Copies of this chain bind each other. A is one copy, B any other.
């Protein structure tokens, strides 16, 4: 990410080179110094509550210390404490009676990840007046667990060799164990999300169902030239945007805000989620493998209907059409198709589309009350569109 804190000890908090790219280490160090419990800032209480609903049975915490870093370009800084708790909760959640399951989950969870979904959930919650901490940390953790479970299963489906810059769990641990580890993470997510009220359970379950339905719809259009931009939007709405949409909505709902603002937060998540996937697709053509932590051209290799591929296919780019339809395209075919995409108007068009959705997300933000967290949500969209990893 922007910032990923993997330890609860101030002096060992660290972020990888890639993760600090978008922020100033200095700003982060100052923030850490002012917010670390050992230096006098808040200690987040953890309590177990039953059937959590907005403004009901929530665990209260001491006054949050809000970092006065209005110039910060890293939106994670506004919810750094909670993201740290999400990290700790993730590590607790993946403890299993079977070390293999913990190892596989840790392989992916400790391997980085942007934690964008928890961040959106947390920023929406605090941005809409949420006060309690442990519950929002739990639901943010559940959402990240669901995301991680789908990554494990996606790697099986795509036969992925690498993920987050290292060998994929699927390649390292094999199909059987990775499949079961994915199930394990889904179950752990359920354990966290299941304590909330029916609305949260329903929204979260529906987001999960949409993920599987998006994966299935994508499967229908695998190496299929008939795929349209509308099909693509339906796939990404389900497969990527649904967790952002739900995260933001649940955050707003648990903050106890109005239904209008809950919907607006959801719309923010939805549109930024679509923009996020569009940029992901673009980077699979224009990105650098070292920065991405994986090779480029994966969508062409796997026959996934990504945005640049669809735009190029619809424009009749023959090299792209051939590589996309070919069951096992050669490296030469893939390289040729990538060059064809890059030398066409496709990337500019795709970026324009991503910007449109980012701009829709920003429109929703304007309807939220002004706060540092709202600034964070705004910055996040801008970073997502401008990122190169």
Interfacial residues, chain A to chain B (CB-CB below 8 A): 48, 50-51, 96-98, 100-101, 149-150, 153, 156-157, 175-177, 179-184, 186-188, 190-191, 193-198, 201-202, 204-206, 208-213, 215-217, 219-220
Task: Kindly state the separation between the CA atoms of A143 and B190 in the bound complex, as whole angstroms.
Answer: 14
User: What are some 9 contacts across the A-B interface (CB < 8 A)?
Assistant: A50-B197, A98-B216, A157-B176, A157-B180, A180-B215, A183-B183, A184-B212, A186-B186, A187-B212
**Complex A-B, nearest 9 residue pairs according to Cβ-Cβ distance, in ascending order:** A194-B201, A51-B51, A191-B205, A187-B208, A98-B216, A184-B212, A190-B190, A194-B194, A98-B213
Point out which of A97, A182, A188, A194 has the most chain B C-beta atoms below 10 A from its C-beta. Answer: A194
- Residues on B with C-beta less than 8 A from A209 are 96, 184, 187-188, 191
- Residues on B with C-beta less than 8 A from A197 are 50-51
Tell me if A187 and B188 are in contact (CB < 8 A). no
Q: Shortest distance in angstroms between A213's beta carbon and chain B's nearest beta carbon?
A: 5
Task: Kindly state the separation between the CA atoms of A215 and B178 in the bound complex, as whole angstroms.
Answer: 12
- Residues on B with C-beta less than 8 A from A196 are 194
- Residues on B with C-beta less than 8 A from A96 are 209, 212-213, 216
Tell me if B97 and A213 are in contact (CB < 8 A). yes
Task: Kindly state the separation between the CA atoms of A101 and B211 in the bound complex, as whole angstroms.
Answer: 12
- Residues on B with C-beta less than 8 A from A194 are 190, 193-194, 196, 198, 201-202, 204-205
Tell me if B208 and A190 are in contact (CB < 8 A). yes
Q: Shortest distance in angstroms between A240's beta carbon and chain B's nearest beta carbon?
A: 15
- State the oligomeric state as a number of copies: 2
- Residues on B with C-beta less than 8 A from A216 are 96, 98, 100-101, 177, 180
- Residues on B with C-beta less than 8 A from A183 are 149-150, 153, 182-183, 186, 208, 211-212
Name the residue on B nearest A185 (C-beta): B212
Tell me if B101 and A212 are in contact (CB < 8 A). yes
Given contacts A150-B183, A182-B183, 8 further A-B contacts (CB under 8 A): A50-B198, A51-B197, A100-B220, A101-B212, A101-B216, A149-B183, A188-B205, A193-B194
Task: Kindly state the separation between the CA atoms of A14 and B338 in the bound complex, as whole angstroms.
Answer: 58
- Residues on B with C-beta less than 8 A from A211 are 183
Name the residue on B nearest A216 (C-beta): B98
- Residues on B with C-beta less than 8 A from A215 are 180
A191's partner among B100, B153, B184, B202 (CB-CB below 8 A) is B202
Name the residue on B nearest A215 (C-beta): B180
- Residues on B with C-beta less than 8 A from A150 are 183
Tell me if B177 and A156 are in contact (CB < 8 A). no
- Residues on B with C-beta less than 8 A from A219 are 100, 176-177, 180
Q: Shortest distance in angstroms between A145's beta carbon and chain B's nearest beta carbon?
A: 12
Task: Kindly state the separation between the CA atoms of A150 and B101 in the bound complex, as whole angstroms.
Answer: 16
Point out which of A96, A204, A212 has the most chain B C-beta atoms below 10 A from its C-beta. Answer: A212
Tell me if B212 and A201 are in contact (CB < 8 A). no
Q: Shortest distance in angstroms between A318's beta carbon and chain B's nearest beta carbon?
A: 28
- Residues on B with C-beta less than 8 A from A156 are 175, 179
Tell me if A187 and B187 are in contact (CB < 8 A). no
- Residues on B with C-beta less than 8 A from A206 are 191
Task: Kindly state the separation between the CA atoms of A187 and B183 in the bound complex, as whole angstroms.
Answer: 10
Q: Shortest distance in angstroms between A21's beta carbon and chain B's nearest beta carbon?
A: 33
Point out which of A98, A149, A208, A217 has the most chain B C-beta atoms below 10 A from its C-beta. Answer: A98
Task: Kindly state the separation between the CA atoms of A156 and B178 in the bound complex, as whole angstroms.
Answer: 12
Task: Kindly state the separation between the CA atoms of A183 and B214 in the bound complex, as whole angstroms.
Answer: 12
- Residues on B with C-beta less than 8 A from A97 are 210, 213
- Residues on B with C-beta less than 8 A from A149 are 183
Name the residue on B nearest A194 (C-beta): B201
Given the interface contacts A50-B198, A97-B213, does A205 sit within 8 Å of B179 by beta carbon? Answer: no
Task: Kindly state the separation between the CA atoms of A182 and B187 in the bound complex, as whole angstroms.
Answer: 13
